Amino acid sequence: MTFSDIFKSSFMENVSSVSIFDMVIAIALAFGIGVFIFFVYKKTFKGVMYSSSFGVTLIALTMISTLVILAVTSNVVLSLGMVGALSIVRFRTAIKEPLDIAFLFWSIASGIVLAAGMIPLAVLGSVAIGVILIVFVNNKSYTDPYIVVINCRDVDEVAITTSLRGAVRKCVTKSKTVIGNNVELHFEVRLENDNTMFINRLSKKAGVSSAVLISYNGDYMG
């Protein structure tokens, strides 16, 4: 094999299979869409602990998907090998929030559509998805629920329960534990406003040993 034969190999021919201009445009658009997805994620995040690394992952996934699809669309043989190589990849990281799955698929799908040359679909589709997520995730049709835990004497249970129901908008008994003459009550409550001073008044009532108000971060219907 001569020196000139090396540069005539199929490997060197693949260098020019995708033009530099197409690469730059695709990666730049992928970065822009990834940043948009990242900001939508920050705007709609409702979990317990925000992870900045997950937001950066969304940007990286968009760009990586674009690179992979650009390579696949430029070479049919490479596409078959890419499918086999990616099929052995396994992800073990647990997804804590169900909405995070939507953001992961959004990033991957945007990169794929963008690299396929459907730039209007990738841009307009991402904008539409972002607007829908911001509107529906941030639009709460219910007040935040709280859990009230009261430890009191059994003879004062009725009076304390009546006082609690009069101080909140909605009160539902969740559990009741009786130990001797003491009772531990768990209530799910909805407040009239952000004022939580009612728990102070409950803790000072006769027979109450402790009163705790806990904010619940889960999903509720109604």
Single-letter amino acid, residue 14? N
Question: Please, are residues 74 and 17 in contact by the beta-carbon 8 Å criterion?
Answer: yes
Is the predicted pLDDT of residue 125 greater than 90, yes or no? yes
Question: Please, are residues 38 and 56 in contact by the beta-carbon 8 Å criterion?
Answer: yes
Tokens standing for residue 183? 């009772």
Give the pLDDT confidence score for residue 150 in this predicted structure.
92
Is the predicted pLDDT of residue 217 greater than 80, yes or no? no
Give the pLDDT confidence score for residue 62 in this predicted structure.
92
The tens digit of pLDDT for each residue in 12-41 reads 455 556 678 888 888 999 999 999 999 999
Backbone dihedral angles phi then psi of residue 174, each to the nearest 5 degrees: -100, -40
% of the chain beyond a pLDDT of 90: 23
CB neighbour list of residue 213: distance below 8 Å, 6 or more residues apart = 146, 147, 148, 196, 199
What is the secondary structure of 115-135 as a DSSP string? Answer: HTT-HHHHHHHHHHHHHHHHH
Is the predicted pLDDT of residue 221 greater than 50, yes or no? no
Backbone dihedral angles phi then psi of residue 150, each to the nearest 5 degrees: -125, 130
What value does the mean pLDDT of the chain take?
A: 80
Give the pLDDT confidence score for residue 11 in this predicted structure.
47
Give the pLDDT confidence score for residue 40 in this predicted structure.
93
Q: How far apart are CA 218 and CA 207, in angstroms?
A: 31
The tens digit of pLDDT for each residue in 150-200 reads 999 888 888 888 888 888 888 888 889 998 888 999 998 888 887 888 888
The tens digit of pLDDT for each residue in 48-63 reads 677 788 889 899 999 9
Is the predicted pLDDT of residue 76 greater than 70, yes or no? no
Parts of the chain belonging to CATH 3.30.70.260:
145-215
CA 166 centroid distance within chain? 36
Query: Which run of H or of E encompasses 71?
Result: helix 52-74
CA 112 centroid distance within chain? 21
Is the predicted pLDDT of residue 106 greater than 60, yes or no? yes
Q: Are strands 145-153 and 182-190 parallel, antiparallel or unpaired?
A: antiparallel
CB-based contacts of 13-17 (< 8 A; 24+ apart in sequence) = 14/74, 14/75, 14/78, 17/74, 17/75
The CATH class for the domain spanning 145-215 reads: alpha beta
Give the pLDDT confidence score for residue 222 in this predicted structure.
43
Single-letter amino acid, residue 188? E
